[in-house]
């Protein structure tokens, strides 16, 4: 008898005998991450060029959540993320998570296409000056809902089927990257990622805060991007067996990073065949919003992606 799609997705998220619920992540959500790291690194610089401390960033996030609440954004709702001037988009997405909502990455889809596929809202223009919008709001936010690890944090339309990622997906992928790169707190890091993607979310938005790093585009100790950096992001999974030690393989369905230097990140695994790759592990997505694509992609052996 064929297993249910829910069971097959869960089985794909297990690796060996380790289920997602058995691996402890330091924080139970992105909301808790930004709060906890602010307590730990409060007055330390987070963004070098703008001299923004962790406390400053957290205050902006709190103000943003109050503003979003005023706009009528509800917990567990989906809000389309516009691309604003740095670091406003980074602040905005944490404000969305802090409120308990999910951020939608539109990619090349129009709003009408997104509405056809999901119940997403678009309330913020790409011309918005976030700092101007939030300046009158309180720096203290009282959450109506505290998101869980299993809650959706991101819906990405980099694939038209719509990739759903949980708070756990994002945190465990960032944790795997930290372990593989051996990133220490106060390391100066720069991520050269232009588009709103799951790679942008994990490497640029989450990783510096998760690791307690300093985001510095002028004198980074570690730089990550598409080319000309210490670590190179690559999407051509069909060539994964030929990747160099500084190549990071990217699979949206595995949140962001799948392997670094030819080795799967912690709690991820894969097998490559002639025309497909089968992925298992804790970074495997919650599933597509398109149920038919889920049926075609999740087999008993794991998540199958064709080349």
CATH number at 288 reads 3.40.50.12780
Mean pLDDT value of segment 60-82: 97
Preceding omega of 231 cis (within 30 degrees of 0): no
Which pLDDT belongs to residue 16? Answer: 86
Q: What is the pLDDT of residue 24?
A: 76
Tell me the mean pLDDT in the region 208-236: 96
Average pLDDT over residues 57-62: 98
Report pLDDT digits (tens) over 177-196: 999 999 999 999 999 999 99
pLDDT score of 60: 98
Predicted TM-score (pTM) of the model is 0.96
Q: What are the start-end ranges of the E strands in 48-192?
A: 52-53, 78-80, 102-105, 120-121, 152-156, 163-166, 188-192
d(CA 134, CA 143): 17
Strands 257-260 and 263-264, sheet pairing: antiparallel
Q: Does position 1 have pLDDT exceeding 70, yes or no? A: no
Q: For residue 150, what pLDDT is reported?
A: 94
Any idea which residue has 């957290």 for tokens?
Answer: 58
**Which structural domain, as residue segments, surrounds residue 28?**
5-306
| Cβ pair 213, 204 in contact under 8 A | no
Indicate left, alpha or beta for 261 from its phi (over 0: left) and psi (-120 to 50: alpha): left
74-92: average pLDDT = 97
Nearest partner of 247 among 199, 255, 175, 235, judged by Cα: 235
- Distance (Å, rounded) from C-alpha 300 to C-alpha 298? 7
Which helix (H) or strand (E) element contains residue 5?
helix 5-13
Candidates 148, 149, 171; CA nearest to 255 is 171
User: Over the chain, what is the mean pLDDT?
Assistant: 95
What percent of the chain clears pLDDT 90, i.e. is strictly above it? 91
Mean pLDDT of 257-270: 96
Residue length of the chain: 307
119-133 confidence digits (pLDDT tens): 999 999 999 999 999
User: With 90 as the cut, is the pLDDT of residue 17 above it?
Assistant: no
Judge whether residue 28 has pLDDT over 90. no
pLDDT at 107 > cutoff 80: yes
Into how many domains does the chain fold? 1
Q: Which two tokens stand for residue 249?
A: 């393989």
């Amino acid at each position: 008898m064929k297993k249910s799609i829910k069971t097959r997705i869960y089985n794909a998220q297990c690796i060996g005998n380790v289920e997602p619920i058995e691996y402890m992540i330091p924080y139970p959500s992105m909301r808790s991450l930004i709060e906890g790291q602010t307590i730990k690194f409060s007055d330390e610089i987070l963004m070098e060029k703008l001299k923004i401390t962790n406390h400053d960033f957290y205050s902006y996030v709190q103000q943003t959540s109050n503003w979003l609440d005023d706009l009528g954004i509800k917990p567990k709702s989906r809000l389309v993320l516009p691309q604003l001037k740095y670091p406003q988009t980074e602040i905005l997405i944490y404000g969305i998570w802090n409120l308990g909502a999910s951020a939608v990455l539109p990619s090349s889809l129009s709003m009408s296409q997104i509405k056809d596929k999901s119940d997403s809202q678009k309330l913020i223009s790409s011309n918005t000056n976030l700092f101007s919008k939030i300046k009158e709001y309180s720096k203290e936010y009282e959450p109506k809902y505290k998101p869980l690890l299993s809650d959706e944090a991101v819906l990405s339309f980099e694939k038209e089927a719509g990739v759903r990622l949980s708070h756990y997906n994002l945190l465990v992928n960032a944790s795997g990257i930290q372990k593989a790169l051996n990133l220490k707190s106060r390391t100066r890091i720069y991520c050269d990622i232009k588009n709103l993607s799951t790679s942008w979310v994990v490497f640029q938005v989450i990783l510096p805060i998760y690791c307690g790093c300093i985001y510095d585009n002028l004198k980074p100790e570690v730089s990550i991007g598409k080319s000309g950096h210490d670590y190179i992001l690559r999407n051509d999974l069909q060539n994964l067996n030929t990747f160099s030690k500084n190549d990071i393989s990217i699979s949206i369905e595995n949140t962001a990073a799948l392997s670094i230097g030819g080795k799967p990140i912690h709690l991820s695994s894969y097998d490559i065949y002639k025309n497909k790759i089968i992925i298992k592990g804790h970074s495997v997505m919650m599933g597509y919003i398109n149920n038919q694509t889920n049926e075609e992609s999740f087999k008993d052996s794991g998540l199958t992606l064709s080349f």
